[in-house]
């Protein structure tokens, strides 16, 4: 993976809850977050006592490198959002500026946590479809927008099958993407 090809855009715990319809029972399980990128989900979940591990090839880079990339691309991303804001459903966020602030806050929280040596076990440099976990190691796998981002790269047959990361789920046969 080349960092100059990455467009980091992090989400928070509340967004994960809404996106995946997570409830209190889900948070009693061990969670694998696939393709989490610079989301504050992992940190916020751990602060609530939730057992979560995030995987992303972005984690091969250090916090300063990721921060620099965020600074490079965030202005262009929000410019594009503003140009196409009529194509968005503005329920969660009232406007592009609110969205931008939320994303930047999530990414700043991620960076602060990611930079800590004690956080390294929670952020694993790995990439779908091959993950470094034992079968049935996790109860729940969340794949945040993974298929949307890579739809032009992977085949339809890959996308329509359960994620290969799901072998790491305990007694489950499919993940939530």
Residue for token pair 């390294």 = 120
Which of 78-93 are b and which e, b meaning 16 or more Cβ less than 10 Å from the residue's Cβ? beebeeeeeeeeeeeb
The pLDDT tens digits along the chain (177 residues) read 899 998 999 999 999 999 889 999 999 999 999 999 999 999 999 999 999 999 999 999 999 999 999 999 999 999 999 999 999 889 989 999 999 999 999 999 999 999 999 999 999 999 887 899 998 999 999 986 655 555 555 554 554 444 444 444 444 444 444
DSSP E strands: which ranges in the chain?
Answer: 31-34, 52-55, 123-124, 140-143
pTM (two decimals): 0.83
pLDDT of residue 173: 41
Cis peptide before 129 (omega within 30 of 0): yes
Residue ranges covered by each domain of the chain: 3-122
């Amino acid at each position: 993976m080349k960092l100059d090809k990455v467009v980091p855009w992090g989400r928070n715990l509340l967004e994960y809850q809404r996106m995946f319809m997570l409830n209190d029972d889900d948070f009693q399980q061990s969670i694998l977050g696939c393709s989490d990128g610079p989301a504050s989900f992992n940190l916020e979940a751990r602060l609530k006592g939730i057992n979560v591990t995030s995987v992303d090839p972005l984690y091969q880079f250090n916090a300063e490198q990721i921060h620099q990339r965020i600074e490079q691309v965030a202005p262009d991303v929000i410019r594009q959002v503003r140009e196409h804001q009529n194509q968005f459903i503005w329920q969660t966020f009232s406007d592009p500026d609110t969205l931008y602030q939320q994303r930047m806050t999530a990414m700043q929280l991620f960076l602060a946590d990611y930079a800590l040596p004690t956080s390294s076990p929670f952020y694993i440099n790995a990439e779908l479809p091959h993950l470094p976990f034992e079968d049935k190691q996790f109860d729940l796998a969340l794949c945040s927008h993974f298929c949307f981002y890579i739809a032009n790269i992977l085949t339809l047959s890959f996308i329509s099958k359960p994620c290969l990361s799901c072998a790491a789920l305990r007694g489950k046969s499919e993940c939530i993407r």
